[in-house]
Structure 1
Amino acid sequence: MDEMTFYYEDYRIGDVRETGARTITEADIVLHAGQTGDFFPHHMDAEFCKETEFGQRIAHGTLTFSVGVGLTASFVNPVAFSYGYEHLRFIKPVFIGDTIHTVVTVSEKKDHRKHPDKGIVTEHLDIINQRGETVMVADHLLMCQKREA
C-alpha cells in the first residue's frame, strides 16, 4: 500500500475519487455471519428468503459497509486518521453476486473544536452496485493535521 501525505489544506470540497470494485460472494456472507454472530435468516436461509420481498438472500448491511469502506483504503495518509462515520443508510439490498464500488466526495471541511492543529474533512461515500444503483451512503469523518499548525 502506498503512502501519500494529504494535509487538511490539501483537501478540496468537491474532489471525487472512485475505488475499484469487489463482488460480494456467498462466502463473504457466511464468514461475516460467523464473525458477527448475525445468522438472521435474511442472510442465511435461501428457502426463507424466497418468501421475502427480495426473493433471495441479502448481504448484511454491516458487510456492505465494511467492504464499501475497505475499498476506500487505497493509501496510507500518515497525517490523518478516521474519526468516525455519520448518516449511514442502507438504500438498497446487496445480493450474492453483486459487484460494488465506492465513490468518495469531499463534502465539508471544518476546524477541530479542541485541537487547533487539526481539521475534520467529511468524505461522503456512495456505495454503488454494477447496475449503477446506490446501495449505501455514509459520511466519513477524517481528522487531518494542518500543515500550518
Structure 2
Amino acid sequence: MTGKTIFQVKVGDTAELAKTISEADVYLYAGITGDFNPAHVNEEYARNTFFKTRIAHGMLTAGLISAVLANRLPGPGTIYLKQELSFLAPVMIGDTITARVEVVEILEEKNRIRFKTTCSNQNGKVVLDGEALISPPKF
C-alpha cells in the first residue's frame, strides 16, 4: 500500500547504540556547529570549572538518539519532529555512551510515535533523559 504508513513497532520496543566519545568527536562537533565553548575545547580553562576537565557537548550526546531513531527504530525514512531533553550529568571524553529509545505510544491516526529517550554512560549513570516524537517511514 504505497503512501500508507505501516506501523511495524509496538509499545515497549527498544533499540540502542553505543559510542565512545573521543576528543576528535568533540572537536569535529565544535567545528561543525561553531560551538567552541572553552568547557569543551580548552583543557586549561576547563580545569577551573566545576567538572575539572573538558566535557562533551550535550547536543553531541543527544545526537546519538537521532542515530538510533534513523538507523534502528523505526529506521531509515524516520522524520524527527520533536525532542525534549534534560541533561543530568556530564559526558567526559572517553566515556562510552549508550543511547536508548523505547516506544511509549503509537498515535496511528496522526502517523506519530512517541519514544522515551535516554543516554547512559559506561557505569550505567543516566546522563540525558527525554522524549521524542517522530513520523515513521512510509512504505
User: How would you bin the TM-score normalised by the shorter chain?
Assistant: 0.7 to 0.9
Q: Secondary structure at the match of 1:12?
A: coil
Rounded to whole Å, the distance in 1 between the matches of 2:84 and 2:27 is 27
Shift, 1:11, TM fit: 2.2
Rounded to whole Å, the distance in 2 between the matches of 1:74 and 1:92 is 26
Is 1:138 the counterpart of 2:130? The answer is yes
Q: Please provide the CA RMSD for this pair.
A: 2.3
Is 1:35 the counterpart of 2:32? The answer is yes
Letter of the structure 2 residue corresponding to residue 129 of structure 1? N
Residue in 1 that maps onto 2:100:
103
Percentage of pairs with the same residue: 37
Rounded to whole Å, the distance in 2 between the matches of 1:58 and 1:134 is 15
Which of these two proteins has the greater Rg computed from alpha carbons? 1
Gaps spanning 5+ residues in structure 1: where?
1-5, 113-118
Residue in 1 that maps onto 2:15:
17
Decide whether aligned partners of structure 1 residues 144 and 35 sit closer, same or farther in structure 2, where only a CA change above 3 A counts.
Answer: closer
Q: Give the helix-richer structure, 1 or 2.
A: 2
Contact 1:23 1:97 in 2 (8 A): yes
Rounded to whole Å, the distance in 2 between the matches of 1:83 and 1:120 is 10
Gaps spanning 5+ residues in structure 2: where?
none
List structure 1 segments (4+ residues) > 6 angstroms apart after TM superposition.
none
Residue in 2 that maps onto 1:3:
none
Counterparts of 1:77-96 in structure 2, within 5 Å, are: 77=75, 81-96=78-93
Rounded to whole Å, the distance in 2 between the matches of 1:96 and 1:120 is 35
Contact 1:44 1:57 in 2 (8 A): yes
Query: Cα deviation per residue 1:8-35 (whole Å; 9 max; x = unaligned)?
Result: 2x3221222233x111011111111111
Q: Give the strand-richer structure, 1 or 2.
A: 1
Query: Cα deviation per residue 1:59-112 (whole Å; 9 max; x = unaligned)?
Result: 11111111343244434746x522322321211111100001122110112221
Contact 2:62 2:128 in 1 (8 A): yes
Letter of the structure 2 residue corresponding to residue 142 of structure 1? I
